[in-house]
Structure 1
Amino acid sequence: MSSVKAVLRKKINSKGLYPIAIRIIKDRKTSFLYIGQYIRLADWDDKNNIVKKAHPDALHINQLILKQLSDTNRNIIESQVDDGYISVSGIKNKILNKTNNDFFVVSEYYLKRIKDRKQFHQLDIEKQRLKVFKDFTKRDSLNLIELDLKLIKEFDSFLLNKRKLSERTVVNYMIMIRTILNLAVSDFSMENKSYPFGKGKYQIKFPETKKVGLNVKEVQLLENLADLTNAQQYALNVWLISFYFAGIRVSDVLMLKWQDFVDGRLEYRMGKNNKLVSLKIPEKALAILNILERDKDSIYLFKELEGVDISDKRYLRMRIKTATRNFNRRLEIIAEKAGIEKKLSMHIARHSFGNISGDSISIQMLQKLYRHSSITTTILYQSNFIQKDADDALDKVIDF
């Protein structure tokens, strides 16, 4: 005789949450199957063994609990019919083997890991990519043995020829699929004999991309541009601050506080890798700081995040995304007014710094200015803008 029940395990994690599990009891021995959801103790209904309605995701979690209970019961019955007597550990292993062979089940675990890291921008992107893949397969479940080299090649062709995506974007899809397959092996101890990636199979290769930045003359055009609206000048100031500080990412520019500027230096912590950065304030940047209006209660250098709860990472990302989109629209108009044919956007401020620095600054110093963790990253990035050696070599051959 066996019993199956949803329970909240009293094993608190670092965030003060408790895991929901399916408890299996057989022959007075107990095992637990975790469903991958964590809640507060106060959100669990002990009487009905479900999540209380007050929880924002109660409906979806309770549906997941019911599905897991149903699947577990069905697997127990099938195991007993097929194998006669089966132990509680045998029941658990059979359920895990059946459940975790589904690519889309493992993909939910993958998405949850991203969500737990509060990387909401990546979460939204990966959800959409998984939807595209699921629509392509026309399947609600996909056994990993079916996700073979043939299917991957067909999906590659679909993305390139039907959806007209770039090679770089296709690479991102394939990295996602490979990551989920690797999680199935590493976190669920699942054997995958049809693994489609690697030597002699589908190899993920990053296509060469060309990063285009403004040159000195074009930046000077922007610095001296007149006849801009207030909104356009404001967007240009954001761009120039990014450029003057070696191409700070727009998310970091918007997070800059007045208190970050101390004794002639900018000191802030990068959002991407949490590195502490200290840079001298260039005279050109200081001129912009002097003309920006600072209210007595203002916190940020630019006003997009005033009053925003920055602990709400999803809302913070949305505000930054909206602000960046508005800046880029105005920068397009500014480029047209300045007679600049290159596409002007917030991100090109970083490329422009790289283009102008060229090979005149040591790669070690550029690594420090870019805040790269690895000098290899700096070398690869800066290779987009260094042409002098190649040009000199060409002249040596044909200049006769």
Structure 2
Amino acid sequence: MASIKVMLRARENANGEYPIVIRVVKDRKNTLLSVGHSVKKTDWDEKNAKVKKSHSNSTWLNNLIAKRVAEANDKLIQLEVNNTDTSARVIGKAVKAAKDNTFFKQADLYIARLEKSGNFNRTSAEKPRIKRVKEFLNNRDIHFPEIDATFLKDFKAWLKGTRTITERTAVNHLVVIRSIYNQAIADKLVDPKYYPFGKGGIVIKFPDSKKSGLMPADIVALENVELTGVANHARNLWLFAFYCGGMRASDVLRLKWSDFEDGRLYYTMGKNEKGGSLKISAKIEAILAQYRRENPKHNLVFPDLEKLVDLKDKAAVQEYIKVRIKANNKHMLKATEKANVNKQATSHKSRHSFAQMAKGVISASALQEIFRHSDLKTTEGYMGNNFVNEEIDSAMDDVMARLC
């Protein structure tokens, strides 16, 4: 059986104090776990293994020591129940892992993994959300068991009370906390019994959102309006994405002339690395004709990313893509205004517009293949509102018809 004892190190530090440690002894072998604080020998009760009242922070330090001892005992019991090696070294390693296993340390690992996988868009979105959790805690770190349903409700209320945000934005903050919690559980650093999400805890539900696109008449108006310069370029990119089945703007900007072969476009979606090909229609070819030039830099179809020195730098590419999308969305405002289109035509609206017009023409499963969604429900989310609206409109008409 292992023994756990609180004591002072034999050697004093530079401040003339002695570090408080927990000694774990098993099979005559021992390991020392630092509590992270030190005291003078005159402030230490060796018999009772605690800090004397003469120390200004005795109560707080004794509570901390008790917590660290409880953690060591808890880890020892877990190892024994699971028939795991319970040597002093293993127990010490387990306790140290539990001690270091705080939310923000795991958040740093979570971000590092996103960056390593090249998922820089999510990285830039998640970092500010983690920063707001830290702001809520006044820069204090927190252990996972402390993140319970009450904590999550208070955090969400604080978010809405300190800034003007939508319900969707608030939910996105909870999602990143859940992702980091799941990571810690998957790495066997946190007991799943503390998990605050799902049944019996906080159920994350995204609010319904209106995903409306442009109507056929709007598209025709955009096609026919006379535009020049940056407005024409923004219009071309928007229509090209639409003609390609609602291709993501980030993928449009990365297209190279080598992606076109035998009347088809072959490309891999940047978001999920799913590949596929599309037939080049006459409308697509008409746009491509405007960009054919000798020796295009990086062999890019569209010139937006030609400013970049190296397209292999994924972080720099994704960061600049956001800059270009924002600029092109701004220029699209002028294009829609001149075309008398009274709807926003941001880059992502081309995707919603295609889904809206695909309704009744192709199946949701076929659109899923075009959009390259992993989950059919995601595709149905693009199309669903339109089906529901038509059913409601039809029902309303039926009721009103009875009054005639």
Equivalent position amino acid for 2:268 in 1: R
2:230 maps to: 231
2:390 maps to: 388
1:175 maps to: 175
2:133 maps to: 133
Q: Does residue 1:274 correspond to 2:276, yes or no?
A: no
Q: Does residue 1:90 correspond to 2:91, yes or no?
A: yes
Secondary structure of 1:384's partner?
helix
Q: Does residue 1:249 correspond to 2:252, yes or no?
A: no
**Counterparts of 1:297 and 1:336 in 2: how far apart (Å)?**
32
Q: What aligned pairs does 1:257-296 form with structure 2 within 5 A after superposition?
A: 257-296=256-295
Q: Does residue 1:211 correspond to 2:196, yes or no?
A: no
- Number of residue-to-residue matches in the alignment: 327
Does structure 2 retain, via aligned residues, the 8 Å contact 1:267–1:279?
yes
Does structure 1 retain, via aligned residues, the 8 Å contact 2:332–2:345?
yes
Secondary structure of 1:132's partner?
helix
Equivalent position amino acid for 2:148 in 1: D
Bigger shift: 126-135 or 140-149? 140-149
1:51 maps to: none
Q: What aligned pairs does 1:65-144 form with structure 2 within 5 A after superposition?
A: 87-100=88-101, 102-144=102-144
**Counterparts of 1:346 and 1:190 in 2: how far apart (Å)?**
41
Shift of 1:29: 9.0
Secondary structure of 2:187's partner?
helix
**Counterparts of 2:271 and 2:380 in 1: how far apart (Å)?**
19
Shift of 1:134: 0.7
**Counterparts of 2:164 and 2:124 in 1: how far apart (Å)?**
21
Shift of 1:182: 2.2
1:370 maps to: 371
**Counterparts of 1:87 and 1:333 in 2: how far apart (Å)?**
70
Secondary structure of 1:210's partner?
coil
Does structure 2 retain, via aligned residues, the 8 Å contact 1:242–1:349?
yes
Shift of 1:104: 1.5
Kindly provide the CA deviation profile for residues 259-305 of structure 1, in whole angstroms up to 9, marking residues without a partner as x.
22222221212112222221111111111112224223441110122
Aligned residues with identical type, % of pairs: 38
Equivalent position amino acid for 2:246 in 1: G
Does structure 2 retain, via aligned residues, the 8 Å contact 1:212–1:352?
yes
Shift of 1:376: 2.8
Q: Does residue 1:329 correspond to 2:366, yes or no?
A: no
Equivalent position amino acid for 2:343 in 1: K
Secondary structure of 1:343's partner?
coil
RMSD of aligned alpha carbons: 2.8
Shift of 1:96: 1.2
Does structure 2 retain, via aligned residues, the 8 Å contact 1:145–1:192?
no
Equivalent position amino acid for 2:282 in 1: E
Shift of 1:97: 1.8
CA gap 1:285/1:107 in 2 versus in 1, 3 angstroms: same
CA gap 1:167/1:262 in 2 versus in 1, 3 angstroms: same
**Counterparts of 2:278 and 2:108 in 1: how far apart (Å)?**
42
Equivalent position amino acid for 1:275 in 2: K
Equivalent position amino acid for 1:104 in 2: F
1:66 maps to: none
TM-score by length of structure 1 reads 0.75
2:12 maps to: none
Give the number of the structure whose alpha-carbon radius of gyration is greater: 2
Bigger shift: 137-146 or 388-397? 388-397
1:145 maps to: 145
**Counterparts of 1:181 and 1:214 in 2: how far apart (Å)?**
40
Does structure 2 retain, via aligned residues, the 8 Å contact 1:196–1:202?
yes
Bigger shift: 259-268 or 290-299? 290-299
Does structure 1 retain, via aligned residues, the 8 Å contact 2:352–2:382?
no
Does structure 1 retain, via aligned residues, the 8 Å contact 2:144–2:190?
no
Equivalent position amino acid for 1:210 in 2: K
1:164 maps to: 164
Shift of 1:369: 1.9
**Counterparts of 1:351 and 1:257 in 2: how far apart (Å)?**
25
Equivalent position amino acid for 1:132 in 2: R
Does structure 2 retain, via aligned residues, the 8 Å contact 1:240–1:349?
yes
Equivalent position amino acid for 1:87 in 2: A
CA gap 1:344/1:194 in 2 versus in 1, 3 angstroms: same
Runs of 4+ with >6 A deviation = 26-31
CA gap 1:276/1:195 in 2 versus in 1, 3 angstroms: closer
Shift of 1:311: 2.1
**Counterparts of 2:203 and 2:382 in 1: how far apart (Å)?**
23
Shift of 1:395: 2.8
TM-score by length of structure 2 reads 0.74
**Counterparts of 2:30 and 2:126 in 1: how far apart (Å)?**
36
CA gap 1:322/1:185 in 2 versus in 1, 3 angstroms: same
Kindly provide the CA deviation profile for residues 104-150 of structure 1, in whole angstroms up to 9, marking residues without a partner as x.
22222222221221212211221211111111111422122322222
Q: Does residue 1:201 correspond to 2:201, yes or no?
A: yes
> Gaps (5+ residues) in structure 2?
1-8, 10-25, 32-64, 74-86
Does structure 1 retain, via aligned residues, the 8 Å contact 2:234–2:331?
yes
Equivalent position amino acid for 1:364 in 2: S
Does structure 2 retain, via aligned residues, the 8 Å contact 1:144–1:192?
no
Secondary structure of 1:328's partner?
helix
**Counterparts of 1:297 and 1:172 in 2: how far apart (Å)?**
40
Shift of 1:398: 3.2
Does structure 2 retain, via aligned residues, the 8 Å contact 1:335–1:344?
yes
CA gap 1:98/1:192 in 2 versus in 1, 3 angstroms: farther
